[in-house]
Amino acid sequence: MTREELLERARDLLPLVRERAEANERLRQVSSDVVDALVGSGLIRAAQPERFGGMGLDFDVTFELGMELSRACGSTGWCYAIWSSHNWLVGMFPLEAQEEYWADGPDTLSSTSFNPARGAVEAADGGYRVSGRWDFSSGCDPATWVMPIGNAPEGPALLMLPRADYRIDDNWFVVGLKGSGSKDIVVDGAFVPKHRAVSMEDVREGTTPGRKIHDTPNYRIPMRSILSYTLAASVLGMAKGGVEAFAENIQGQVSGRTGGKFTDSVGLQLRLAEADAELRAAQTLLKHDCAEIFGKARASEEFSLEERAKYRRDQAYIARLSVQAIDRVFAASGGRALFESHPLQRFYRDVHAAAHHVSLAWDAPAEQFGKVRLGLELERPDL
């Protein structure tokens, strides 16, 4: 399958994804028919290792697919980005863990949580004993595995737990990304064998066991330099969907005050032009960075500290441009866009909710890049 063929498959799903967007909000998770369609289309296997039934394409193909799906439903695009990126992450684990994960076939889904603050990981014979609570586990309802980060005795580690070893706390009552089902995961003393843990240091540096197993560019890239583009691309897709909804909203409308067509308003034309330019700039930045990153990965080149800081900054800046674009058009969208049945208000809420993700917050990566660029020492060089 080529990228373009996969994109065509994603576009074929848009009518269903768009139709189910309201239902996803009511369900507070992606509806089962949309999940089945995503799995059946093979999109989730785009960057999955070929050894386990995936297509083995460069990981950045999932950014394009997530962006496309997010144009129709932010929660669906967000969860697609989560599920597809997790199947890339699984490829970093020791072979025994990967064989367990895909034992029932190539269409396995998992969720994650990268906040270890309320979890406990203790040494046990042959592995770890894990307890605690992990939050914001997007797409957890249809998933059969979870991958939380825990503070193991040797240092932070990414862990793998099957569905029987944890429960979901249904606490996702929010104003945006309602359909993402980003609920809490609760673990009560589950045993995690050593082979189902991988050092976060190795994940960050691109030196995981999966690099030797699969030997593709996907596994030569430091995680922080690539992973959050999945989320940034989804936010960008949501903003695109919102700008498209704005343009459609003003078609055929007439001002009750002046009697003039909304489409003749110079102010609205200027807002549409600038919002579109912001999104084009964000997408160009995304494509440029990915080409650069995978060029380096193919050549097995090291990633410098400044390059890592630049990619983290750009991930956040793509989200920042997307927020600016949706704010620009929503502010001039009029009262019709306030109705729950109108897609523009949903895109507005979803973009803002997604941009709250810690990986897309602007201040920290901007400060890091500024310090690195000026030759200053970083207090926490977690790039």
Q: Which residue has the tokens 């697609």?
A: 80
pLDDT at 128: 98
> What's the CATH class of domain 110-201?
mainly beta
Instruction: For strands 110-113 and 145-152, give the pairing.
Output: parallel
Q: Which residues are 159's β-sheet partners?
A: 197
Q: Which residues of the chain have pLDDT under 70?
A: 255-257, 259, 380-381
Contacts of residue 2, Cβ cutoff 8 Å, sequence gap at least 6: none
CATH of domain 223-373: 1.20.140.10
The length of the chain, given as a count of residues: 383
Q: Which residues are 152's β-sheet partners?
A: 155
pLDDT at 352: 98
Q: Which residue has the tokens 């609205």?
A: 268
pLDDT at 298: 97
pLDDT at 239: 98
CA distance 360 to 323: 11
Count other C-beta atoms under 10 Å from residue 207's C-beta.
Answer: 16
Among 248, 358, 378, CA closest to 308: 378
CA distance 254 to 262: 6
Domain 3-105 identical in fold to domain 110-201? no
Domain 3-105 has CATH 1.10.3720.10: no
Domain locations along the chain: 3-105, 110-201, 223-373
pLDDT at 101: 98
